[in-house]
Structure 1
Amino acid sequence: MRGDSLKITEVNVVSLKRYFLPSHWGRLLIRVKTDEGFYGYGESGEDSRWGVGEKLLNNWAKEIIIGSDPMEINKILRKIWIHMKHFGRSAIMMGTYAALDFALHDLKARILGVPVYELLGGKFRDRVRVYCDTGRPDLDNPESHLEVIREVRREGFTAVKFDLDVHPREREALGWEPFNDHARNDELKWMMRAVKIIRDFVGDDMELMVDLHGSYNVTSAVKIAKALEPFNLTWLEEPVPAENVDAMREVKISTSTPICSGENLYSRWEFRRLLEKQAVDIIEPDINKCGGLAEGKRIAESADLWYIPVAPHNTSTSVGTIAACHLCASIPNFLSLEWHGGRPPKDHPRYAYWNLIVWDGPVIKDGYITLPKKPGLGFELNEKACLEWNPETEILFR
């Protein structure tokens, strides 16, 4: 039961320093605690190697959070929002802000004894559909990727994504120009071969998505999108860099292949430009990078004005993934949530992906995550597993 003098007394931060995904190293976990022992957990979308998020959270705790009423989430977040205006609401800022948003929602929901999705207006669905990101097919042998697809389908997923962009180092090794963002004919030919192999293997029932990571210029992106039309993709992701909304729209209006973007946009104002210009068919805000649940819900509601579905990007650990599920359950225009999967070897760090939380049974079953009914985000941290991700720490939260 809540006391009249309930106040936030602690904000604890720990860095998870182990690699768990290609190009994604470490995360910050935070715990916000009150004088009566209630607590909430969050995860930052910031790469914890840089240490910026930890410094931000410690500063915010000292100047704003400590002593605040945990029931006043909007008031606390607004104070921090104002505090950020002099520094810009960048990826690091918004990813750190998201960690606090998650923790405050978890904390308040635990105090009230309800799941977090109840704080967001209740749920539209009991299960959240998850699609599996399977990485990129091999350049020399794209057929080998079918083993990954086969395993993913065996696990019950009905939607998969794979990458088609070629890294500049690889382009240079192949004798392709590594800097001008232009796809040569032989590169385009390899892309179509890879997609055909996978589409022929899975048939028409499985949904396929392709990611280009903003790697190409408009001319090449249009050629790629039009060449992919026969394969009935659910979406083509970030064919051009996200910063130029007009360029993204140029690709969108040229093709019947649905265009998706948004993982590198960090607030409702950045999404506003994308939506008002009708530059995409689907948006993919990363809830762990664009400010968390409150900001994510505002972005989703904005997209709903244009009848645009939301398919959140996600490279989080299990903590951020489950937090995102509460948002996905609470918006009508949700499509699917990303999970970087396939079944890795037991000695691979990603094998421990879900071990960071205590959960009843498998988290993902047949391509869905079932919403928890427990208070808060619905899990406890597995502190022993978390410490294995940071061997320099003996106690998770001091």
Structure 2
Amino acid sequence: MTTISNTVNTNSSPSKLRITDMFFTDIIGAPMHCTLMKITTNQGLVGLGEVRDAASRTYAAMLKSRIIGENPCNIDKIFRRLKQFGGQSRQAGGVCGIEIALWDLAGKAYGVPVYQLLGGKFRDRVRIYCDTDVRGKHSGSDMGRALKERMAMGFTFLKMDLGINQLFGEAGTICSPTGIVSPDLRDLPDRSDPHHRLLARNRSYDANNIAHPFTGIHLTEKGFDRLEQYVHDVRQVIGDDIPLAIDHFGHIGVDDCIKLCRRIEKYNLAWAEDMLPWQLTGQYQHLHNHTTVPLCTGEDIYLKENFQPLLASGALAVIHPDILSSGGIYENKKIGDMAQDYGVAMAMHMAESPVAAMAAVHSAAATENFLVCENHSVDVDWWDAITTGTPAKIVQNGYIDVPDKPGLGIDDFNDEVLKEHLHPAFPTLWAPTSEWDGEWSHDRLWS
């Protein structure tokens, strides 16, 4: 005889669930440096999380003492406590990584997939696009053939790079002040000096972190000709029917962005991504007013309120948050819902492990105006094996199926695979974090 008690999941008592610890493993080549995370509980449930690609585990570890002993099912309460410690782009990685681990725990505790806790799903599978790289000097026809291979794999949405990086070394295509395009390393101490590596890194940081309006970089007519020809040659190979988005233009100013967009308008682009720093709302409006190319940005924006000025400006056709920078699964859905109110679609950036990918899938499934999600790891042959309990091929025919398993739909990390790809700077698998247990500060933001 079947009774209610036979069908209820009694592996967890949600009201008594408590967070007990936090652990990290760093891997490299997935394709980025990824910091993977586990949050453990007093009932044996483990929540899987991840810090944003190429960020620092410190962004999450510093928050450990603020969540130990808390019930992970109180996600919104914990998020409101933590969100002051997140910042734009990678600085949000700790808050967001913890947030998705909390959703994984809540779903496991109640025995339901995360999307169900968000109100249900609008779709059973999530469309994926893959950013496509061709190494070395190459032509638009070469890129077209690489994209054609993606189409043969079942992808129905494509993206490629187009910008000043493709012009380096070709005389007469770029006009720029000396020292702007590459860092000046002439006065660094000898390599035997212990500070050489750090100084070189910081010099490179200084050279490569100048915002677009201040670089003084311009394309010449020859440069514009080359980039227009590149897009033409790509379309000649892949045809006009499949959406093609473009990214990585380089740090050029708004006037050059206008000139380039006008050159490539005729090639029916899905969007031009991150042409300008996202903070420059007025410049995005100016660009939008001078081109019909759909504009897209958002992977570096943290929290719903920081998307609002761009959405209100009317400059964007697509927002493009990353689940590990936007605020996590729930905040990401709020962002998508707000964008829908402004008539803007939501795509999603994703260059991390299957944990971030599945977190993005749940948020996308629960958001009506979702368009497409990135996967930057199509060419990483061990990416699917990072986790257990997920399909042997997570992306199939250009889609990820929305899982019905509890939480994110992942059983665990595959430690044998992780051991083969540990970041050399972090050689310990699931390193303990006891040094952060006593971290304390007076966190109130008012007197």
**AA of the residue aligned to 1:312:** M
Name the CA distance, whole Å, in 1 between partners of 2:368 and 2:144.
34
Name the CA distance, whole Å, in 1 between partners of 2:62 and 2:94.
12
1:155-189, Cα deviation, whole Å (9 max, x unpaired): 01111111111239x63663522442322111111
Name the CA distance, whole Å, in 1 between partners of 2:236 and 2:301.
34
Name the CA distance, whole Å, in 2 between partners of 1:9 and 1:94.
23
**AA of the residue aligned to 2:71:** D
Q: Which deviates more, 101-110 or 212-221?
A: 212-221
Q: Do residues 357 (structure 1) and 364 (structure 2) align?
A: no
Name the CA distance, whole Å, in 2 between partners of 1:251 and 1:267.
24
Q: Which deviates more, 134-143 or 300-309?
A: 134-143
Percent same amino acid at aligned positions? 30
The correspondence of residues 1-398 of structure 1 with structure 2, limited to 5 A, is: 1=10, 2-3=12-13, 4-16=15-27, 18-21=28-31, 24=32, 26-48=33-55, 53-62=56-65, 64-82=66-84, 84=85, 89-135=87-133, 139-167=137-165, 171=168, 174-175=171-172, 176-178=174-176, 179=180, 180-213=216-249, 215-340=251-376, 344=379, 350-358=380-388, 359-380=390-411, 381-390=413-422, 393=427, 395-396=429-430
Using the TM superposition, give the Cα deviation of residue 46 of structure 1 relative to its aligned residue in structure 2, in angstroms. Answer: 4.7
Distance of aligned partners of 1:93 and 1:239 in 2 relative to their CA distance in 1, 3 Å threshold: closer
Distance of aligned partners of 1:219 and 1:58 in 2 relative to their CA distance in 1, 3 Å threshold: closer
Distance of aligned partners of 1:257 and 1:137 in 2 relative to their CA distance in 1, 3 Å threshold: farther
1:250-289, Cα deviation, whole Å (9 max, x unpaired): 1112122111111222222221111111121111011122
**AA of the residue aligned to 1:305:** D
Q: Which deviates more, 94-103 or 1-10?
A: 1-10
Name the CA distance, whole Å, in 2 between partners of 1:15 and 1:137.
26
Which residue of 2 is the match for residue 347 of structure 1? none
CA RMSD of aligned residues (A): 2.1
SS state at 1:68 partner: coil
Using the TM superposition, give the Cα deviation of residue 114 of structure 1 relative to its aligned residue in structure 2, in angstroms. Answer: 0.6
**AA of the residue aligned to 2:373:** L
Name the CA distance, whole Å, in 1 between partners of 2:99 and 2:164.
36
**AA of the residue aligned to 1:302:** M
Using the TM superposition, give the Cα deviation of residue 19 of structure 1 relative to its aligned residue in structure 2, in angstroms. Answer: 3.2
**AA of the residue aligned to 1:74:** D
> Under a length normalisation based on structure 1, what TM-score does the superposition of the two structures give?
0.89
Answer whether contact 2:124 2:365 (CA < 8 A) is retained.
yes
SS state at 1:93 partner: helix
Answer whether contact 1:214 1:238 (CA < 8 A) is retained.
no
Using the TM superposition, give the Cα deviation of residue 56 of structure 1 relative to its aligned residue in structure 2, in angstroms. Answer: 3.6
Which residue of 1 is the match for residue 207 of structure 2? none
Using the TM superposition, give the Cα deviation of residue 299 of structure 1 relative to its aligned residue in structure 2, in angstroms. Answer: 1.1
Name the CA distance, whole Å, in 2 between partners of 1:397 and 1:296.
29
1:128-181, Cα deviation, whole Å (9 max, x unpaired): 00012113686553322233112211101111111111239x636635224423
Name the CA distance, whole Å, in 2 between partners of 1:341 and 1:134.
10
SS state at 1:32 partner: strand
| Bigger CA radius of gyration | 2
Using the TM superposition, give the Cα deviation of residue 372 of structure 1 relative to its aligned residue in structure 2, in angstroms. Answer: 0.9
Answer whether contact 1:216 1:241 (CA < 8 A) is retained.
no
> Under a length normalisation based on structure 2, what TM-score does the superposition of the two structures give?
0.80
Gaps of 5+ in 2: 1-9, 181-215, 433-447
Using the TM superposition, give the Cα deviation of residue 120 of structure 1 relative to its aligned residue in structure 2, in angstroms. Answer: 1.3
Using the TM superposition, give the Cα deviation of residue 227 of structure 1 relative to its aligned residue in structure 2, in angstroms. Answer: 1.6
